[in-house]
């Protein structure tokens, strides 16, 4: 994600906030917040296309214990000369964490031990000018970096050694590798207008664009300059893709693309005649869109695995997650994640907009040291030594975190394993 994309994401999404909330009692549990699921009539399926009528009135916080079977923390350990800054993107692959931070890629083992880094930013022939996006190829064991400034892809091995680079000439914000030579690029709106599609299929061997898909109404594309969080979800035999303004998640197989999920926002959808109005700039368009609180897939972020579809939904400036249980055929609208598994039954709630990475089996979240130390300090200040000892005995990770990290430490990776459907 580019610096511009990251800035927009920061403006749009809520930052990590630590909230001290009193326990909200409910008969039978005493520590969970009530929530609603969708009505059965909200979900329909025809010709392998699932339609979801989105009702944001059912929004509620989600306790981690509702969604995840376990929570663990990895403290990133590195030499004193190497300090990881705020993490923009995480990829988990081949028993490693690949972390994008401050124009570098850091590689850590799954135990949290520092392995190597890619730090080749510059003007030289083997240097990238920016890291717009990156992917990990588990076949070649290469890290591929998308550089928007040079319209190139730079390849490095896991030790951080430069391998090669090649130019594609596409102004792209995210990319996905289908095979040795075939890539999908999510492209700039002007380029999309030229090709009549937000996604371009590029063949590296032929050095040309071979297809384009997901067309955009030209009235809309000049205004919809959203920087998405994640446009792709890979499966062994297909790739799911989506982008802002479509309200659809598509399934792509070589030569075929069709809708897989369609979100219906009914009267809250942006009306078609809204784009017929003349706006002085993208800024004015966005102000009017926010004022009307239209609902849609903006700043797209989603995951599908065997059990769930998780998708970001935006209303005005407010971000939600739709958590769809594919087997139960019901969804929840999540407006906040509460970590009740680490901080014990609602004692401390960590308000968070989204995990940093949704993987097929678990989600990862990057936490700045302050986000952990603040609630731990609060626990220590409001409990006796005996109570604190009891708390640490019930959640040993808290004691380890308290003793191991400082305000100037590396971020901590929180790992959340999904419940099985």
CATH number at residue 303: 2.130.10
Structure tokens at 180: 């040795």
% of the chain at pLDDT higher than 90: 52
**Exposure of 277 by Cβ count < 10 A (0-12 exposed, 13-18 middle, 19+ buried)?**
exposed
Averaged pLDDT, 393-411: 89
Q: Give tens-digit pLDDT for 292-329.
A: 888 999 889 999 999 999 999 999 888 899 999 999 99
Residue that wins the pLDDT comparison between 38 and 101: 101
pLDDT at residue 44 tops 50 = yes
Residue that wins the pLDDT comparison between 45 and 79: 79
Confidence of residue 375 (pLDDT cuts 50, 70, 90): confident
Average model confidence (pLDDT) across the chain: 84
CA nearest neighbour of 350 among 328, 371, 321: 371
Reduced to 3 states (helix: H, G, I; strand: E, B; else coil), residue 347 is coil
CA nearest neighbour of 230 among 320, 368, 86, 356: 356
* Structural domains counted in the chain: 1
- Residue 166, φ and ψ in degrees, nearest 5: -150, 145
Averaged pLDDT, 353-362: 77
Q: Which uninterrupted H or E stretch holds 350?
A: strand 349-351
Structure tokens at 16: 């990590």
The answer to whether 152 and 111 have CB atoms below 8 angstroms apart is no
Q: Report the relative pairing of strands 357-358 and 362-367 from DSSP bridges.
A: antiparallel
pLDDT at 354: 55
Q: What single-letter DSSP state applies at residue 220? A: H
C-alpha distances in Å from residue 412, one per residue of 85, 186, 370 = 11, 30, 10
Longest dimension (CA), the chain: 69
pLDDT at residue 22 tops 60 = no
The boundaries of the domain holding residue 294 are: 3-418
The model's pTM = 0.85
% of the chain at pLDDT higher than 70: 87
DSSP string, 43-69: EEEETTEEEEE--GGGEEEEEHHHHEE
Q: Give tens-digit pLDDT for 322-354.
A: 999 999 999 999 988 888 888 755 444 444 545
- Backbone CA torsion sign across 43, 44, 48, 50: negative
Taking only Cα atoms into account, the Rg of the chain, rounded to an integer number of angstroms, comes to 22
- CA–CA gap between residue 62 and residue 340 (Å, rounded): 10
Residue that wins the pLDDT comparison between 421 and 279: 279
Confidence of residue 69 (pLDDT cuts 50, 70, 90): very high
Q: Which uninterrupted H or E stretch holds 164?
A: strand 162-167
Q: Give tens-digit pLDDT for 235-277.
A: 988 999 999 888 999 999 988 999 999 999 988 888 888 888 8
How many distinct helices (H) and strands (E) make up the chain? 8, 30
């Amino acid at each position: 994600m580019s610096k511009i994309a990251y800035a927009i994401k920061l403006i749009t999404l809520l930052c990590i906030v630590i909230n001290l909330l009193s326990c909200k009692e409910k008969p039978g549990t005493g520590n969970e917040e009530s929530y609603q699921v969708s009505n059965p009539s909200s979900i329909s399926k025809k010709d392998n296309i699932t339609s979801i009528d989105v009702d944001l009135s059912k929004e509620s916080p989600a306790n981690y214990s509702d969604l995840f079977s376990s929570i663990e923390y990895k403290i990133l350990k590195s030499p004193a000369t190497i300090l990881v800054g705020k993490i923009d993107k995480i990829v988990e692959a081949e028993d490693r964490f690949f972390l994008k931070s401050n124009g570098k890629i850091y590689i850590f083992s799954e135990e949290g031990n520092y392995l190597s880094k890619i730090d080749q930013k510059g003007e030289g022939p083997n240097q990238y000018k920016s890291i717009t996006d990156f992917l990990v190829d588990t076949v070649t064991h290469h890290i591929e970096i998308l550089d928007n400034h040079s319209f190139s892809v730079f390849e490095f091995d896991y030790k951080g050694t430069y391998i090669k680079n090649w130019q594609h000439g596409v102004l792209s914000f995210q990319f996905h590798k289908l095979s040795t030579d075939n890539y999908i690029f999510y492209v700039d709106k002007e380029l999309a207008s030229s090709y009549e599609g937000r996604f371009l299929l590029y063949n590296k061997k032929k050095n040309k664009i071979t297809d384009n898909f997901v067309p955009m109404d030209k009235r809309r594309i000049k205004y919809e300059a959203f920087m998405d969080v994640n446009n792709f979800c890979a499966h062994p035999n297909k790739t799911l893709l989506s982008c802002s303004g479509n309200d659809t998640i598509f399934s792509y197989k070589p030569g075929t693309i069709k809708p897989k999920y369609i979100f219906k926002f009914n009267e809250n959808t942006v009306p078609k005649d809204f784009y017929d109005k003349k706006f002085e700039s993208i800024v004015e368009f966005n102000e009017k869109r926010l004022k009307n609180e239209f609902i849609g897939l903006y700043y797209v972020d989603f995951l599908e695995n065997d059990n769930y579809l998780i998708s970001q939904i935006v209303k005005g400036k407010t971000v939600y997650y739709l958590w769809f249980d594919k087997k139960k055929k019901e969804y929840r609208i999540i407006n906040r994640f509460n970590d009740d598994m680490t901080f014990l039954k609602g004692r401390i709630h960590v308000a968070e907009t989204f995990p940093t990475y949704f993987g097929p089996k678990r989600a990862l979240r990057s936490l700045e040291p302050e986000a952990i130390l603040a609630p731990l300090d609060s626990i220590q200040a409001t409990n006796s030594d005996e109570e604190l000892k009891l708390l640490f005995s019930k959640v040993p990770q808290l004691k380890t975190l308290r003793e191991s990290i400082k305000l100037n430490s590396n971020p901590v990776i929180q790992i959340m394993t999904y419940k099985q459907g």
